[in-house]
Amino acid sequence: MQKIKPTDKVITYKSELERKAELSNSLLIMLEEAATRQSCEEAACVITGVLKNLSNDFSEIKSSVDFWESLTGSNLEKT
């Protein structure tokens, strides 16, 4: 019988699944927060800021940050 090592795909998959769940939860919270804003512009700023922050830990959403920054015409690094 073969032992399962920490580097095996089963454990990696679980970690990846947990990582995706964390991202999904963060995105849900982001949308809930954006929905409380009084204008579309304010909501877009919330989304842009949260995505930019999340992209530090989740590189797969970097293209979304670029899109939202171009959409809002903002670059939050300068503020």
Host H or E run for residue 3: none
Tally the residues of the chain. 79
DSSP 79: -
Host H or E run for residue 22: helix 9-35
Mean pLDDT, to the nearest integer, of 17-44?
Answer: 94
pLDDT of residue 73: 82
Average pLDDT of the chain, as a whole number:
83
pTM for the structure as a whole:
0.73
d(CA 30, CA 8): 33
d(CA 50, CA 23): 11
Check pLDDT > 80 for residue 75: no
Phi first, then psi: what are they for 60, rounded to 5°?
A: -70, -10
Mean pLDDT, to the nearest integer, of 23-48?
Answer: 95
